[in-house]
Amino acid sequence: MSTVRVYDLPTRVFHWSFAGLFAAAYAIANLVDDESARFAWHMLAGLLLGLAVLLRLAWGVVGTRHARWSDLSLDPRQLAAYLKGVVAGGGRRWAGHNPASSWAALVMVAMALGMVASGLAMATGIAPEWVEEVHEVVANTFLVVALLHIAGLVLHALRHCDALPASMLTGRKFGVSTEAAVPARGLVALLMLGLLVAGGATLVRAYDPATQALDLFGTRLVLGEDGGEAHGVHAEGEAHDDDGDEGHDDE
């Protein structure tokens, strides 16, 4: 039996952009001093991750069969049967996301949106202090889910002797019905990649390392040391609170 393409190119472009940008945002947040000018790259990676998610949300509505949100298998009984199959062997083959991957995908996309929302709230100075706590806890939970996702793929591959992990690279799965086949949608993938590159370039262009400020849609986000502002993060412009008693505070 030959392999069948189940993941189109836009889904794969999203996957590796998402994984790469998450890793970059997480690594920078933990390895770079939050008062260093380089910490701004954390925010830029996080915002680009937000753009990737928005594009994927749209593709989940109009994309090919296994890219659609409606194709996720979220029935808890199917999840239980799938996990039983991984432990004991057997169980059905999934052309699209298996139930464990479906839940992992949903949770990770939701957490990414939460990270961007809480990050933006902090960077515009409107967030109360606890938001920073939530941002950090969600980041670490996100990491755990991503690691579980990778461990699950390895376990699946070992247990079922198939190359499931490679399907997000090649787009192809072995042993699924040819009816599950989807077109590559190369032009959409190119457009998605182009939008991500343009989004990244726009962010980098809007960011001024000298002032550590990012001018974004009329709001000036400043990430860096600033006279005792909360962790050096504040915003000017629309969201600015300039009564000298800004939204959040040092530890």
Binding site for ligand HEM (CB under 6 A): 11, 14-15, 18-19, 22, 25-26, 29-30, 34, 42-43, 46-47, 49, 56, 94, 97-98, 101, 105, 108-109, 112, 115-116, 119-120, 122-123, 132, 135-136, 139, 142, 146, 149-150, 153, 164-165, 167-168, 231, 233
Q: Strand, helix or coil at 176?
A: coil
Q: Cβ closer to ligand HEM: 146 or 189?
A: 146
The minimum distance between CB 218 and ligand HEM, in angstroms, equals 15
Q: Strand, helix or coil at 221?
A: strand
Dist. CA 69–CA 71, nearest whole Å: 5
60 Cβ neighbours under 8 A, 6+ residues apart: 67, 68, 69
Q: Cβ closer to ligand HEM: 156 or 187?
A: 156
Name the one residue in this structure whose structure tokens are 């609170």.
241
Dist. CA 4–CA 176, nearest whole Å: 7
The minimum distance between CB 2 and ligand HEM, in angstroms, equals 18
The minimum distance between CB 245 and ligand HEM, in angstroms, equals 18
Q: Cβ closer to ligand HEM: 122 or 182?
A: 122
Angle at 57 between CA 207 and CA 25, to 5 degrees: 40
The minimum distance between CB 19 and ligand HEM, in angstroms, equals 4
Q: Cβ closer to ligand HEM: 105 or 213?
A: 105
Q: Cβ closer to ligand HEM: 115 or 192?
A: 115
Half-sphere exposure of 49 (CA within 13 A, CB side): 28
The minimum distance between CB 53 and ligand HEM, in angstroms, equals 9
Name the one residue in this structure whose structure tokens are 């409107």.
126
Q: Cβ closer to ligand HEM: 150 or 244?
A: 150
The minimum distance between CB 88 and ligand HEM, in angstroms, equals 19
What DSSP line would sit under 27-78, residue for residue?
HHHHHS-TTSGGGHHHHHHHHHHHHHHHHHHHHHHHS-GGGSGGG----HHH
